[in-house]
C-alpha cells in the first residue's frame, strides 16, 4: 500500500495545468521532489479565462436580433456569391419566399426585359375561355397579334376613298386635300393625309393627261400610313381599273385624280364643282367648225378626259337655229340625249355620257356648221 501511495504522490505536481504551446513540454516538479516532462495545454484552444483567445473570437452565438444593421447580407463569399442589398430602397420592404418547390425568384430587371425567356414570358395569363394556345403574356400577345393581322386583312376596306381631292395650284402644281384612302399595294393600308399639300407634277407633256398616284414604294419605304408630299407620284401612263382592289391602279400605285395640260405643257386651270364634277376654266376645242354628221359618228375625247371619267361637259355651237343634236354611247343607238340649238350661232352646254374609252357618238338633224368645245369631265369612282 505504501508503494502505491508513494507512486501517486510522485505524480502529483505543484501545478497541475500549465499553459503554452501544446507541441512542446515543460518539466514539472513532483510532490516528492522529483520532476516529470508533460505537454502544455494550448491557450489558443482552451482559453485561460472566459471565452477569450481563439474560441472567444470564433465561437458562434445565436443572433436573436430581428434585423441586421448591415446594408448587405451575403452567401458563399468564397465563390459566386448571392448578396441581398437594401441600398436604394425608399422604404422598408418585406419579401416573402414562395411556398412552392419549383418557384424561382425573379428580379425587376428581368421582368421588364424584352429578351427571350424574360419579361412577358415569365408572367402567366388566366385564360378561362381557352382563347390562347400558350399560358404566358408573351404567347398571348403573339396570338393576339396574329388575330389582329388576320382581322386587318379581312376587314381592309378595299376601294375606300374619302378626300384627297385635287384642286388647281399653278401651271405646275396641284393641291391635294386631306383625306384617307385604302391602298391595296405591297401591304393593305388605310393611308391618310392630314393637311392640304401642294404637289408638283413632273410628267406634264404637250396637250396631254397626267395622272396623280399614291406611290406604293414610297409608302412602303416609309412604313407609315401618314402621307406626305413624297408619298405621291405622277405619270402620263393611265391606270386600269382593278375589280379585286376596287380602284384604279398603275401596278401597285393607286390613282387619285388627273390634270390636263395645254400646248405649253402647263396644267390647264380647273375648278371642282359639286362632289364629282371637275370643270376646266379654259375650254378646249374638241371638234373644229364643220358640217355636222347626220348619222352617229364617233367623238373622241380621250385626249382631254381621263380614263376614269364617265361623262364630259361640252359646249355645242351651231350656225343654224333649230338644229337638233343627239349624243349616245353606241354607234347604233336610237334614243340618245337630244338637244336643240335655239338661235343662229347659238351655243348650249351639254353633259354627254362616255364609253370606257372616253368616246361618244353624235349626230345632227341637218349637216349644219357645228363646233364642239370640251369644258371638263365628271369623275367616276377612283
Q: Which residues contact 82 (CB under 8 A, 6 or more apart)?
A: 74, 75, 76
Inter-residue contact 292 to 318 (CB < 8 Å) = yes
Please state, in angstroms and rounded to a whole number, the distance separating the CA atoms of residues 283 and 169.
18
The C-alpha atoms of residue 331 and residue 324 are separated, in whole angstroms, by: 17
More confident residue, 95 or 226: 226
SS (H, E, C) 336-351: CEEEECCCCCEEEEEE
The count of other CB atoms within 10 Å of the CB of residue 261 is 22
Burial of 101 (0-12, 13-18, 19+ CB in 10 A): exposed
What per-residue confidence (pLDDT) applies to 227? Answer: 95
How sure is the predictor about 340, in pLDDT bands with cuts at 50, 70 and 90? confident
* Torsional class of 2: left (φ above 0), alpha (ψ -120 to 50), beta (otherwise): alpha
Q: Distance (Å, rounded) from C-alpha 207 to C-alpha 204?
A: 9
Question: pLDDT (tens digit, 9 = 90+) per residue, 100-158?
Answer: 777 777 777 888 788 887 877 777 788 787 777 888 877 877 777 666 666 555 556 77
Looking at residue 9, what is its pLDDT?
Answer: 53
Cell numbers given for 129: 375561355
- CA 347 vs. chain centroid, Å, equals 56
Task: Determine how many CB atoms are found less than 10 A away from the CB of residue 193.
Answer: 22
Does residue 327 register a pLDDT over 80?
A: yes
294, 367 contact by CB (below 8 A) = yes
Residues near 266 by beta carbon (within 8 Å), at least 6 away in sequence: 171, 172, 204
Over residues 52-80, the pLDDT tens digits come to 455 555 555 555 667 778 888 888 888 89
Domains of the chain, each with CATH number or no CATH:
2-57 (no CATH), 118-155 (no CATH), 161-260 (no CATH), 277-379 (2.60.120)
Residue range 259-280, pLDDT digits in tens? 999 999 999 988 877 656 667 7
CB atoms within 10 A of CB 317: 15
The pLDDT of residue 198 is: 96
Amino acid at each position: 500500500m505504501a508503494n502505491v501511495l508513494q507512486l501517486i504522490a510522485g505524480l502529483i505536481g505543484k501545478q497541475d495545468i500549465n499553459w503554452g504551446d501544446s507541441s512542446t513540454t515543460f518539466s514539472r516538479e513532483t510532490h516528492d521532489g522529483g520532476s516529470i516532462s508533460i505537454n502544455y495545454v494550448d491557450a489558443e484552444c482552451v482559453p485561460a479565462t472566459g471565452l477569450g483567445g481563439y474560441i472567444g473570437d470564433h465561437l458562434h452565438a445565436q443572433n436573436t436580433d430581428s434585423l441586421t444593421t448591415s446594408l448587405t447580407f451575403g452567401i458563399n463569399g468564397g465563390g459566386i456569391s448571392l448578396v441581398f442589398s437594401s441600398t436604394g430602397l425608399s422604404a422598408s420592404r418585406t419579401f416573402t419566399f414562395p411556398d412552392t418547390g419549383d418557384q424561382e425568384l425573379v428580379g425587376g430587371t428581368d421582368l421588364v426585359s424584352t429578351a427571350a425567356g424574360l419579361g412577358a414570358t415569365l408572367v402567366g395569363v388566366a385564360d378561362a375561355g381557352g382563347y390562347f394556345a400558350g399560358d404566358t403574356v408573351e404567347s398571348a400577345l403573339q396570338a393576339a397579334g396574329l388575330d389582329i393581322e388576320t382581322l386587318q386583312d379581312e376587314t381592309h376596306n378595299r376601294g375606300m376613298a374619302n378626300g384627297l381631292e385635287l384642286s388647281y395650284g399653278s401651271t405646275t402644281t396641284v393641291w391635294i386635300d386631306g383625306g384617307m384612302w385604302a391602298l391595296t399595294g405591297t401591304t393593305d393600308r388605310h393611308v391618310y393625309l392630314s393637311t392640304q399639300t401642294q404637289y408638283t407634277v413632273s410628267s406634264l407633256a404637250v396637250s396631254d393627261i397626267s395622272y396623280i398616284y399614291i406611290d406604293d414604294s414610297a409608302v412602303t419605304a416609309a412604313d407609315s400610313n401618314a402621307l406626305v408630299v413624297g408619298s405621291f407620284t405622277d405619270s402620263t401612263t393611265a391606270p386600269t381599273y382593278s375589280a379585286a382592289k376596287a380602284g384604279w391602279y398603275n401596278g401597285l400605285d393607286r390613282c387619285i385624280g388627273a390634270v390636263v395640260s395645254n400646248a405649253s405643257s402647263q396644267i390647264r386651270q380647273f375648278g371642282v364643282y359639286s362632289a364629282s364634277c371637275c370643270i376646266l376654266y379654259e375650254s378646249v376645242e374638241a371638234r373644229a367648225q364643220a358640217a355636222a354628221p347626220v348619222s352617229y359618228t364617233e367623238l373622241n375625247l380621250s385626249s382631254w378626259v381621263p380614263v376614269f371619267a364617265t361623262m364630259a361637259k361640252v359646249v355645242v355651237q351651231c350656225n343654224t337655229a333649230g338644229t337638233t343634236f343627239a349624243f349616245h354611247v353606241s354607234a347604233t343607238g336610237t334614243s340618245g340625249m337630244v338637244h336643240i340649238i335655239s338661235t343662229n350661232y347659238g351655243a348650249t352646254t351639254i353633259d354627254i355620257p362616255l364609253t370606257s374609252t372616253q368616246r361618244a357618238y353624235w349626230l345632227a338633224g341637218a349637216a349644219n356648221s357645228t363646233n364642239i368645245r370640251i369644258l371638263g369631265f365628271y369623275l367616276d369612282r377612283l
